[in-house]
Amino acid sequence: MKLHRLSRNPANLITKLEFRSRVSPIKYQGISRLKQWDRTFMSEFLDRRWALTSPDTKIHRVKLNIDELQQQTEENETCGYSFLNDTRPSLGYDMMKERQGPSFYVVRDDLLHPLVNGNKARKLDGLLPLIEDYRVTDVVTCGGCQSAHAAAVAVSCAERGLASHLLLRGEQPDIPTGYNLITTMYGNAIYVPRSLYAKREEMLSGHADFVAGSTGSVIWFSDILNESFTTKNSKEANSVPVYSKCVISGSNAENRQRKVIIINEGAGDFAGLLGFIRLVEYLSQDHIFGKEQPLKIVVDCGTGTTAVGLGLGAICFGLPWEITGVMLADTIEGYRKQEKRLISDFKRFCCSQEMDQSLSGANDSIVHWVDRTNPRKFGNVLKGEIETCQKIAQQSGILLDPVYTLAAWEQAIRLCRREASSSKGDAKVLMLHTGGTLGMFGLAQRYKSSFYTLKK
C-alpha cells in the first residue's frame, strides 16, 4: 500500500486536541505536550532538505492466532504463535472504528532502500544534506566489522560522489560478506586493531589528517552543527563559507584540496534525531495513525538514538504515544545518559522556551527502557532464535535478525497481549523495523553451528 504525504499546511493540522492545547497545556506521562503554535514551529523546523525524497514507509499489520494466544503462559508469552501479515491494513479513522483482534503494526523501514534502510537511513536523512552543504570531499567514520552504519555511509557517499573511509574494528575476514562486503565494495575499508579502536576520537582524527594531507582540512560533524544549525531559518546553514567541491579525476586526484569530515560511530548526534522526528510527523497524519490514537511504539536499541528521536517527535507534536526501547548494547544507566545528552543537544539547537519547558518534566525521561523478553548475553546467537526468525519469515514475509529486531518483535507481542487482556485496550502497538537484515550473513559466517539446523 502506497501512503501519500499530505500538504504541510498548519491550518490543516488543527484537531480538537490541538485546539484545546491552545488554552492549556496537556500532560502525558508527566511531560507537557506542546501547544499548537509550537507544532507549527516544528513543521517549519523540519522544512529543510532531506536525504530521503519522502518520509513515506510501508505499514503492515501482523495478526496473532487467537487460539494459540489463549494457550500461552506468562513465562512463554512470545513463543509458539503463528502469524498472518496484512499488507493493506485499515489506517486513519477506519482503523479507529475497526474492531481488531490481537495484532500489532510494523513500520517497514527495512524496505526503504536495498542497502541503506531502517534506522540507518533515518539517521542519515537529516545528516547527509548538511554534509553536502559543506561540500566535503571525504567522509571518515568507524564501526564494527559488520557495521550497518559503516555500510550505509559507504553506499550513501558513493551515490553522492564522495569518498568514504571506514575504520572497522578487528580483523579482516577471509571472505567478506553481509555489511562488511557492502562496505568494502562501496568505500575504503581499513581494519584497525582493537587496542587502537578503543581510542576512537584519536583514531578518527589521526586517519582524517592522513586523508586530508598537507593541503586539506578536517572538520568534525559536531562542529558543523555548532556553527551552522539554527531554527530561525534552516536554510541559513548554506550561508556558512565552504570550499568548492573538487572533482576527482586522473592525476588530479592526489593533488586536489580535500575537505574531510568525521562522523561519530553510529551517527548518534543531534542531526541523527531529525529523521525520526520527521517520521513521527508523517505517521501522525490523519490518514495514517492520527494525533489522538494512543500508540505504544517498540524499537530495538543499539545506541538508543532511534528511541530518543521517536520520543522527542511524540512530544514535539503533542502525541499520546509511548516509546519503548529494548536495551541490547548497554546498561539502563548508559541509555539514560545517552538520552539526557541527546535531549540537551535538542534543546540547545531548537532554542524554543516552550519546548524546553515541555522537556523538563519527568527528569527528562522520554523513553521507557526495558530489557529484551528473554534476557541473554548480547551477541550470543542461539539456534532457537534462528529458527524463530525462520518461522516468522515464512509465515509473515518479514525478515528479522536474531539479535536486534527479533527483540523488538518479542516486546511487541508482549504489549499486544497486555492490550488484548486490558479492560481499556485502546492503545495500538507498533514496531519500528530498524532493518539490519544484511547482518544475517555476518552472523551465519560467525556462528556457523547455529545455522546448521536450517539445512533441513
pLDDT tens, residue by residue, 402-447: 989 999 999 999 998 888 777 676 889 999 999 999 999 998 888 8
Distance in angstroms (rounded) separating the CA atoms of residues 14 and 318: 12
Same domain, residue pair 157 and 299: no
Q: Is residue 132 part of a domain?
A: yes
Same domain, residue pair 315 and 403: yes
Q: Is residue 95 part of a domain?
A: yes
Q: Is residue 248 part of a domain?
A: no
* DSSP conformation letters of 70-82: HH--GGGTTSS--
Question: Which of these ranges, 2-6, 129-133, 311-315, 380-384, has the smallest mean pLDDT?
Answer: 2-6
Confidence of residue 29 (pLDDT cuts 50, 70, 90): very low
Distance in angstroms (rounded) separating the CA atoms of residues 79 and 81: 6
Same domain, residue pair 273 and 263: no
In the prediction, which pLDDT does 132 show?
93
In the prediction, which pLDDT does 36 show?
54
pLDDT tens, residue by residue, 340-391: 999 988 888 876 666 666 666 545 589 999 998 765 554 456 778 888 899 9
Reduced to 3 states (helix: H, G, I; strand: E, B; else coil), residue 367 is coil
Question: Which of these ranges, 20-24, 114-118, 306-310, has the smallest mean pLDDT?
Answer: 20-24
The residue from 243, 267, 291 where one domain ends is 267
Contact 186, 210 (CB under 8 A): no
Task: With a cut of 50, say whether residue 13 has pLDDT above it.
Answer: no
In the prediction, which pLDDT does 96 show?
72
Distance in angstroms (rounded) separating the CA atoms of residues 77 and 177: 35
Domain that holds residue 360: 39-113+269-450
Same domain, residue pair 223 and 290: no
pLDDT tens, residue by residue, 127-176: 999 999 989 999 999 999 999 999 999 999 999 999 999 999 999 999 99
Same domain, residue pair 435 and 297: yes
In the prediction, which pLDDT does 351 show?
63
Same domain, residue pair 431 and 377: yes
In the prediction, which pLDDT does 77 show?
53
- Cβ-proximal residues to 18 (8 Å cutoff; 6+ apart), any chain: 36, 39, 291, 318
Same domain, residue pair 425 and 368: yes
- Give me the helix-helix angle, 305-316 and 332-350, nearest 10°: 50
Tell me what the mean pLDDT of segment 450-455 comes to.
78
Same domain, residue pair 103 and 127: no
Contact 268, 147 (CB under 8 A): no
Same domain, residue pair 46 and 136: no
Task: With a cut of 90, say whether residue 300 has pLDDT above it.
Answer: yes
**Helix and strand numbers, DSSP H then E, in the chain:** 18, 14
Q: Is residue 101 part of a domain?
A: yes
Neighbouring-strand partners of residue 324: 298, 368
Distance in angstroms (rounded) separating the CA atoms of residues 168 and 194: 9
Question: Which burial class, exposed, middle or buried, applies to 369 when counting CB atoms under 10 A from its CB (0-12, 13-18, 19+)?
Answer: buried
In the prediction, which pLDDT does 237 show?
39
In the prediction, which pLDDT does 147 show?
95
For the chain, the C-alpha Rg in angstroms (whole number) is 22
In the prediction, which pLDDT does 305 show?
95
Neighbouring-strand partners of residue 86: 61
Tell me what the mean pLDDT of segment 81-104 comes to.
82
Task: With a cut of 50, say whether residue 333 has pLDDT above it.
Answer: yes
* DSSP conformation letters of 373-411: SS---TT---HHHHHHHHHHHHHHS----TTTHHHHHHH
In the prediction, which pLDDT does 441 show?
92
In the prediction, which pLDDT does 372 show?
84
Q: What is the DSSP letter of 237?
A: G
Contact 95, 74 (CB under 8 A): no
Q: Is residue 455 part of a domain?
A: no
Task: With a cut of 50, say whether residue 236 has pLDDT above it.
Answer: no
Same domain, residue pair 67 and 201: no
**Cα four-point dihedral sign 160, 113, 341, 402:** negative
Q: Is residue 9 part of a domain?
A: no
Same domain, residue pair 322 and 187: no
For the record, the C-alpha cell of 264 comes out as 561519530
Q: How many domains does the chain have?
A: 2
Distance in angstroms (rounded) separating the CA atoms of residues 323 and 367: 5
How many CB atoms lie under 10 A from the CB of residue 190?
Answer: 15
In the prediction, which pLDDT does 99 show?
67
In the prediction, which pLDDT does 252 show?
47
Confidence of residue 451 (pLDDT cuts 50, 70, 90): confident
Same domain, residue pair 99 and 187: no
State how beta strands 217-220 and 103-107 pair: unpaired
- Cβ-proximal residues to 384 (8 Å cutoff; 6+ apart), any chain: none
In the prediction, which pLDDT does 423 show?
64
Q: Is residue 224 part of a domain?
A: yes
Here the CATH number for the domain that contains residue 210 is 3.40.50.1100
pLDDT tens, residue by residue, 45-68: 888 899 999 999 999 999 987 665
Percent of the chain with pLDDT over 90: 55
Identify which has the larger pLDDT, 214 or 376.
Answer: 214
Question: Which burial class, exposed, middle or buried, applies to 13 when counting CB atoms under 10 A from its CB (0-12, 13-18, 19+)?
Answer: buried
Q: Is residue 211 part of a domain?
A: yes
The residue from 210, 238, 267 where one domain ends is 267
Instruction: Tell me the average pLDDT of the chain.
Output: 81
Distance in angstroms (rounded) separating the CA atoms of residues 178 and 441: 5
